[in-house]
Amino acid sequence: MKPLLSLQCKECDHEYPIEPRTVCDECFGPVEVIYDYGQLQDRFTRQLIESRPRNLWRYRELLPVDGEPRSGLQSGWTPLIPARRLAAELGVRELYLKDDSANYPTFSYKDRVVAVAVTKAIEFGFETVGCASTGNLAHSVAAHAAAAGLEAFVMVPHDLEEGKIVGTRVFGPRLVKIRGNYDDVNRLCAQIADKYPWALVNVNLRPFYTEGAKTHGFEIAEQLGWRLPRHTVVPVAGGTILPKIAKSYQELIRLGLVEDNKPVMHAAQAAGCNPIVKALEDEEDLFHPQKPKTVARSIAIGNPADGYYVMKAVRESGGWGASAEDAEILDAVGLLARTEGIFTEPAGGTTLAAAIKLIQSGRIPRDEPICVCITGNGLKTIEVMQETFTQAPVIEARIEAFTDLVESAREAQPARQPVTH
Amino acid sequence: MSITIQIPAALRPQADGQASLQLEGGTVREALGELKSRYPELGGRLFKSDNEVNRFINFYLNDEDIRFLDSLETKLKSGDELAIVPAIAGG
Ligand SMILES: Cc1ncc(COP(=O)(O)O)c(C=O)c1O
Ligand SMILES: [Zn+2]
């Protein structure tokens, strides 16, 4: 028995059956899946979850599917890293990294939402899936569609990073580059959804797609030993993942799976695209859309549809926001790589850079447990890091040449310190 | 000024099923006011109050979000296209 009841508008409470649906017809607010938590109370236990395979479907009772999972059977269950070297560098006591740069199959948090959306597309009987994307979603939709034998139509801004384009095209979708920024792509997709009978995962499958993001939070809690971090720092683009991590924590609390430690949510954006952080800082009710200009292309959404829910989740939890300049973003990418051996894309650099600012400003106390959400992989955007290095040395294949190089380098740069535990 | 308004699928039942229609107005506010007087039920969904549009709906004048122009006071010229588009999730 599935405790999946219906869809309900988050703004006006109007109810709809479980069906493909972009927004509420009454008020245009987003609709959300309603679960029967009462029925799950004693059934959805730690033991049951722990007995299941290590992928995001171990939380299936809290995902909006009726039958068996049909996509992403290996997605999720990414590493939660106790980041000791980075913690020492930042002067904080307990720091974790939830590392979706290692997500399967396309190395970003989007494999979570797409696993659910593609399963749902198959349940609804669609033969074509698609999306509007800043890159990672297109990559993920194309891969999941290929594996499920569905047609894919993905729409991206015309000037996206090459790694994301090639990484997506290899799966054989129809990829269309749209002149303009992501917000232009998004507007077009809303109109495409009105015209073609396709499952556009972030449009008419949005109520289902967004729920997949909760699994990032479920995993953090389970991997911490059924405990919540006190502070979670999350990147914000369209505004899906931050409120959904907050929701995942509240669901676990409600079902008695973790203790309520009053988890605090913090928003991270690039300074060149920070409508939500700006509204938080200015304590405004409405955010103002922006024209993005940032190296963090995957989170360059100037008019975030779920922005109000990000503001609500941050405010209700007592959190805050911070934004990072391009140079700070790339520095943070380098810092994460050098301290923890993780190569993230600029979205991850943004999140770490914002976390550092929140720690420095005292918004995040140094002695409280912190989780930084790393949502994407740096190998997709190598061009942005290229200019941060000097040229690598080239030498002849002779030991003398090598010795000369090592000796002169040793004088210039002291050896790296290992962490002591 | 005669302009074209594009209606999203979710609002077409309240506009006799039309995907687009022509109407008159000197500003976006006037055009939407005219739309509201023709189709009161549809109009009711576009506005939160007289001065505030529904924050889950975006209005694009010739492909530009009106919040980058003069919002509701943006001036219209003949042949302009005003699209009503629901805000959708991103990625
Ligand atoms: C790497 C990465 N991180 C974070 C996000 C944030 O997404 P949202 O706020 O739309 O959930 C995205 C969205 O495209 C992304 O690609
Ligand atoms: Zn509603």
Token representation of residue A282: 């200015």
Least-confidence region, from A109-123, A260-274, B61-75: B61-75
Interface contact flag, B89 A289, Cβ < 8 Å: no
Which ligand minimizes its atom distance to the CA of A103?
A: 1
| pLDDT at A201 > cutoff 90 | yes
Q: Which helix (H) or strand (E) holds A402?
A: helix A399-412
How far apart CA A86 and CA B19 sit, in angstroms, is 55
Higher pLDDT residue, A354 or B89?
Answer: A354
How far apart CA A174 and CA A40 sit, in angstroms, is 41
| Residue B24 contacts A, CB cutoff 8 Å | no
Domain definitions of chain B by residue range: 2-86
| Residue B60 contacts A, CB cutoff 8 Å | yes
Report DSSP letters for A52-68, one per residue. Answer: S-SSGGGGGGGSS-SSS
For A196-259, list the strands marked E by DSSP: 199-200, 231-235
**Burial zone of A85 (CB within 10 Å; 0-12 exposed, 13-18 middle, 19+ buried):** middle
| Residue A184 contacts B, CB cutoff 8 Å | yes
Q: Rounded to the nearest whole angstrom, what is the distance from the C-alpha of residue A22 to the centroid of ligand 2?
A: 11
Residue A267 in contact with ligand 1 by CB distance below 6 A: no
Cβ-based contacts of A375 with chain B (< 8 Å): none
Fold of A4-72+110-209: Rossmann fold (3.40.50)
State the CATH class of domain B2-86: alpha beta
- Nearest residue to A209 via CA among A317, A119, A279: A119
Please identify, by atom number, the ligand 1 atom nearest to the C-alpha of residue A301.
Answer: 10
Judge whether A4 and A18 are in contact, CB under 8 Å.
yes
Average pLDDT over residues A55-76: 96
Q: Describe the crossing of helices A346-360 and A326-340 by its angle, rounded to 10 degrees.
A: 90
Nearest by CB to residue B88, choosing from A137, A189, A288, is A189
Least-confidence region, from A3-17, A68-82, A126-140: A3-17
Q: Over pLDDT 70: what percentage of chain A?
A: 97
| pLDDT at A2 > cutoff 60 | no
| pLDDT at A1 > cutoff 50 | no
Average pLDDT over residues A346-371: 98
Residue B22 φ then ψ, to 5°: -100, 140
Q: What is the pLDDT of residues A104-127, one digit of tens each?
A: 999 999 999 999 999 999 999 999
Judge whether B29 and B35 are in contact, CB under 8 Å.
no
Average pLDDT over residues A380-391: 91
Between strands A128-132 and A151-157, the pairing is: parallel
Coil/strand/helix, residue A58: helix
Residue with tokens 């210039």: A412
Q: What is the pLDDT of residue A260?
A: 98
Give A 190-209 residues with CB within 8 A of chain B: 190-191, 193-194, 201-203, 206, 209
Position A281, amino acid: E
Report DSSP letters for A223-236, one per residue. Answer: HTTS---SEEEEE-
Mean pLDDT, chain B, rounded, equals: 91
Judge whether A130 and A199 are in contact, CB under 8 Å.
yes
Which of A14, A22, A28 has the highest number of chain B CBs within 10 A, making it the mutation to test binding with B?
A: A28
Average pLDDT over residues A148-171: 94
CATH tag for A80-107+213-386 (out of 3.30.450.20, 3.60.130.10, 3.40.50.1100, 3.20.80.10): 3.40.50.1100
Higher pLDDT residue, A283 or A386?
Answer: A283
Which neighbouring-strand residues pair with A374? A99
Position A213, amino acid: A
Q: Over pLDDT 90: what percentage of chain A?
A: 89
Give the pLDDT band (50/70/90) at residue B87.
confident
Interface contact flag, A191 B85, Cβ < 8 Å: yes
- Nearest residue to A133 via CA among A384, A382, A383, A380: A380
Task: Give the mutation target among A110, A112, A314 for probing the ligand 1 site: most ligand atoms within 8 A of CB.
Answer: A110
Give A 279-298 residues with CB within 8 A of chain B: 286, 288-289, 291
How far apart CA B57 and CA B46 sit, in angstroms, is 7
Domain definitions of chain A by residue range: 4-72+110-209, 80-107+213-386
Average pLDDT over residues A144-162: 95
Higher pLDDT residue, A206 or A5?
Answer: A206
| pLDDT at A387 > cutoff 90 | no
- Nearest residue to A25 via CA among B59, B64, B62, B54: B54
Nearest C-alpha in A relative to B48: A27
Residues in chain A: 421
| pLDDT at A420 > cutoff 70 | no
Q: What is the pLDDT of residue A421?
A: 52
**What ipTM does this complex have?**
0.90
Average pLDDT over residues A317-333: 98
| pLDDT at A412 > cutoff 80 | no
Position B25, amino acid: G
Residue A294 in contact with ligand 1 by CB distance below 6 A: no
Mean pLDDT, chain A, rounded, equals: 95
Judge whether A158 and A177 are in contact, CB under 8 Å.
yes
Cis upstream peptide for A105 (omega within 30°)? yes
The radius of gyration of chain B's CA atoms, rounded to the nearest angstrom, is 12
- Nearest residue to A323 via CA among A359, A267, A266, A270: A270
How far apart CA A308 and CA A287 sit, in angstroms, is 8
Same fold, A4-72+110-209 and A80-107+213-386: yes
